[in-house]
Amino acid sequence: MSRTLPALPSHPALACALTVALATQACAQDFNEAPPNAPDQQPAFPEQTRAPVIDDPVALSRETVAEGLSHPWGMDQLPDGRWLVTERPGRLRIVSADGTLSDPIAGLPDVDSRRQGGLLDVTIREDFDETRRVWWSFAEPRDGGKTGTAVATGVLSPDDTQLEDVEVIFHQEPAWDSTAHYGSRLVFSPDGALFVTTGERFGPRDLAQDVTTHLGKVLRLSPEGGPAEGNPDIDGGRPEIWSYGHRNLQSAAIGPDGALWTVEHGPQGGDELNRPEPGRNYGWPVISYGETYSGAPVGEGLTAKDGMEQPVYYWDPVIAPSGMALYEGDVFPEWQGSFLIGGLASKALVRLTLEDGRVTGEARHLQDEARIRDVDVANDGSVMVLTDADNGALWRLTPSD
């Protein structure tokens, strides 16, 4: 079982010398024993929720690569092994192997960092060494105090100090007087298109069903801006839309089948793992597992309806999902082909195994250690974790000897 550790001592150079061994065997933990928020709801098929707990004996060694990050949100590894890391107040930094934090990189557009906004995800492509091009998402300030999810791209200068030729390639429409539910994960598909996830901005949740808006959608863009070729033709819909009827998508990764997989925040219960198909409707807020924060049903309390897709898997109680990665490294052979998902409310690294497109097991590591905001797999096969806090950290996970 996971055990609670004492607070990590700070280091003035933010160096990565501190390593802590965690006994994180995911045995018969109590996460499948917690009462659901909506006990009268039933899954549509076996193991759509509360899959068997994986007998996972792996113990983890946790190395603190960097600390002192202000609410870090997204990361991606550069070819030389360093990490691009975003901080929600609007700073993009480079973290070196020795834990050194760069000064904030100049040239980014202004962000609105109220509540759930700020500088969010960041990603590069495999051709970074040739192009030095970076993509990032952020909460964009608009007229009248409104905001919208936006995506920009720019070229990192040779000295790593600024982004040049910056262009905002996507502006969520409509803007909204809300500081919540931006979604905002960025994932390149194998065919080179850029998937962008958005939230429904919380208040106008019904617009997740309105295909004339970008709210509560998976979007598929050209990396230069505009819709990617091959998007579905949705009657009356915006050409960038891949799928719709989502609540707040904050987890996304390409799965072992080469397709996009996502996890979205539910209300009080009802976090969903989906494999979004082109043109499909994923139901929010018409169908949902879980209930509203007041304890009332979501809409009519439906969990299924013709023309709306069922989630591959759901959680009630929620894990409050964030970053997500497919494990394909050699460091954790037992984890090969598993999804690793950051949990905010659950304060856990959630591992899912899959077979034939269904979840077959779930394990949780780092239980109660920290709110996990992002997860990635390093080039060497170790697992990287960002913690969500005013004094956030970048951790490297490897098996304990």
Cis peptide bond N-terminal to 174, omega within 30: yes
How far apart (Å, rounded) are the C-alpha atoms in residues 229 and 213? Answer: 19
Residue 10: exposure state from Cβ atoms within 10 A (0-12, 13-18, ≥19): exposed
Answer positive or negative: Cα dihedral of 258, 371, 34, 334: positive
Residue 139, CB half-sphere, CA atoms under 13 Å: how many?
A: 26
How far apart (Å, rounded) are the C-alpha atoms in residues 47 and 43? Answer: 8
Q: What is the DSSP string of 56-106?
A: B---EEEEEEEEEESSEEEEEE-TTS-EEEEETTTEEEEE-TT-PBPPPPB
Residue with tokens 């023309």: 307
**Distance in Å from the first CA to the final CA of the chain:** 17
Q: What is the largest CA-CA distance in the chain?
A: 58
Residue with tokens 């550069």: 78
Q: Assign residue 98 a region: left if phi > 0, alpha if psi is -120 to 50, beta otherwise? A: alpha
Which residues does 238 contact at the CB level (< 8 Å), separation at least 6? 173, 211, 212, 213, 214, 227
142, 172 contact by CB (below 8 A)? no
How far apart (Å, rounded) are the C-alpha atoms in residues 302 and 244? Answer: 18
392, 69 contact by CB (below 8 A)? yes
Catalytic residues: 181
